[in-house]
Amino acid sequence: MSDASRQKQLLLPDLGDFLFLFVIWSTLFALRDRLYSDGSTGWHLVTGDFILRSRTVPRVDLISLTFADKAWVAYEWLFDLGAAIIANLGGLSLLAVVISVSLGYLFISIYERARREGAGALVAASIVVLAILVALGHTLARPHLVTFWAIWIFSTVLEDFVRDRVSVRRMCITLALVMLVWVNCHPAFALGILLVLIHAASQMVLSFCGRQAEDRGRHRGKTQVLLIACIGLGLLTLVNPYGLDLHRYILQYWSEGIHSHTSEFMSPIFKGNLHSTCLELLFFALAAGLALGWTRISASGLLTCILLAHFALAAVRSMPLFAIVAAPYIAGLFASPASSDTAIGAPGDGVKSGALAGIYSRFNKLEMRCKMHLMPLACSILLLSAAYLFHPQYENCMTSKFDPARLPTDSLTYIRSHNLDLKRGLNYDNWGGYLRYSLGKRVFIDDRADFYGPAFYSDYATVMMTGEGWQSILDKYQIDWILFPSSSKLVETLARDPHWSLMASDPASRLYVRSALGFSK
């Protein structure tokens, strides 16, 4: 592609623009309430509102009745604050639009990166669609969305540095700024430092394996820069309201092992699940691409893909991270060996020579000139303006709210109308944040497993699974009513117990009250 044609941009959309629309359609229309299908969003909003009102970051718990005075490290406070500000401006719908637009632009960036790796438009778009479908499995209005962007920026900037595309100064400034945000939004910031170490290790290996002394010296220099950057980023993680206590808090949580019993930290199930199936297809594409030409991926890129693949197989919540980072590398494996930063399609896409190859090559060249992204910009402005200016009228045509199929609705109305004592109620842990946000009162438990500790969570798990002594645990905490998922083992047991009466139900939940209390439906 000539410089003249490269500069002559067209107003037409590229395939990345349509990927943006696919993300918007999926998160705001097809899966309208998917962003709010997790009750955790509730306690994030409560925390953000507290920070707005008090102008301070919380030091003690805000959510639970059981540990009301216990010290708490709100390590996601910056996301909580941002989410609360947006929700106060335009409700949950505006927050949903902001998140959806952000995700849309993230996948536009991934698509553009795949094209710069030399992949043709169709191959790049296909790989990114798989990445989107993997990510949608854990696309929730929660702070890990910041990690999506942070790990993407870290991986691309580091890769560009080892390829001599960005300077040392630009790399350090970019990573430092991202880390300052990341460390105050989500505890996965340690992944950033791990990525730096991976790139340093790859450069160190190349410093010993290089054929020429000049190359070995260049790789040694990059190794030193990356190790120094790693130390600097580690020091920057102390720039948070809690200082070193943040790190102690996170390490204690991981050492206790409570996280291993939560569903998002469990391995994915490869039995017909769409998101897991798409992850399998990405693994297959990576393997096939490496078989076609493993030299098309850098050592650091390969190590990064292997590491994140391991995390994806170990925990459901890590699947999107692999998809986001690996997609451009995978697409690049199918590029033409002769392609550089701009793709022209042809051999690397597996298109046969002849008329079809010529048409596809011309399409790729034309598509590379359609990078103004006016359609995503117009869509973003329209959605954000509608959510902000016409709220709540906007909700008549499109709204995002807490998902009634996954969270209690009628049961919540009963609790409110009958003024049930929350001190005497046991709620499902994942609903705790939602209840705290909706009722405006503290609850028995929420899903912050890091906060409650092993002993308390052991009691909760025993009751949830109706293990030995579960009834005595209810007596220990003076529980008079229980709100749990309709399909849970505890609900099945209570349905057969004459000492408990069903007072309210909805698609997600069942509310049982001790029969002796005499409550009516």
Regarding whether 367 and 423 lie in a shared domain, the answer is no
Regarding whether 330 and 428 lie in a shared domain, the answer is no
Nearest alpha-carbon partner for 148 in 409, 327, 3: 327
What is the Cα Rg of the chain in Å? 26
Q: State the total domains in the chain.
A: 2
Is 60 within a domain? yes
Which residues on neighbouring strands pair with residue 505, listed in sequence order? 510
Regarding whether 119 and 259 lie in a shared domain, the answer is yes
The pair phi, psi for residue 500, each rounded to 5°, is -125, 140
Is 392 within a domain? no
State which residues form the domain around 192.
Answer: 3-375
The Cα–Cα gap between 248 and 128 comes to 37
SS3 state at 146 = helix
Regarding whether 220 and 99 lie in a shared domain, the answer is yes
Regarding whether 366 and 438 lie in a shared domain, the answer is no
Residues 207 and 223 sit within 8 Å (Cβ to Cβ): yes
Regarding whether 244 and 357 lie in a shared domain, the answer is yes
Note the pLDDT of residue 5: 44
Is 391 within a domain? no
Nearest alpha-carbon partner for 325 in 519, 131, 64, 60: 131
Note the pLDDT of residue 399: 65
Note the pLDDT of residue 353: 53
Regarding whether 163 and 295 lie in a shared domain, the answer is yes
Regarding whether 416 and 335 lie in a shared domain, the answer is no
Positive or negative torsion for Cα 321, 40, 511, 91: negative
Regarding whether 268 and 174 lie in a shared domain, the answer is yes
Is 123 within a domain? yes
| Each residue's pLDDT expressed in tens, for the chain with a length of 521 residues | 444 345 588 899 999 999 999 999 999 988 888 899 999 999 999 999 999 999 999 999 999 999 998 999 999 999 999 999 999 999 999 999 999 999 999 999 999 999 999 999 999 999 999 999 999 999 999 999 999 999 999 999 999 999 999 999 999 999 999 999 999 999 999 999 999 999 999 999 999 887 788 889 999 999 999 999 999 999 999 999 999 999 999 998 888 766 666 778 788 988 878 999 999 999 999 999 999 888 889 999 999 999 999 999 999 999 999 999 999 999 999 986 554 444 333 344 544 456 787 888 888 889 999 999 999 999 999 999 988 887 665 555 556 789 899 999 999 999 999 999 999 999 999 999 999 999 999 999 999 988 998 899 899 999 999 999 999 999 999 999 999 999 999 999 999 999 999 999 999 999 999 998 767 66
The Cα–Cα gap between 184 and 250 comes to 13
Note the pLDDT of residue 254: 81
- In the numeric block, the tokens 């408990």 are attached to 500
Q: Which of 351, 375, 399 is where one domain is finished?
A: 375
Note the pLDDT of residue 392: 63
Is 242 within a domain? yes
Regarding whether 361 and 451 lie in a shared domain, the answer is no
Query: Angle, to 10 degrees, between the axis of helix 213-236 and the axis of helix 168-182?
Result: 30
Is 398 within a domain? no
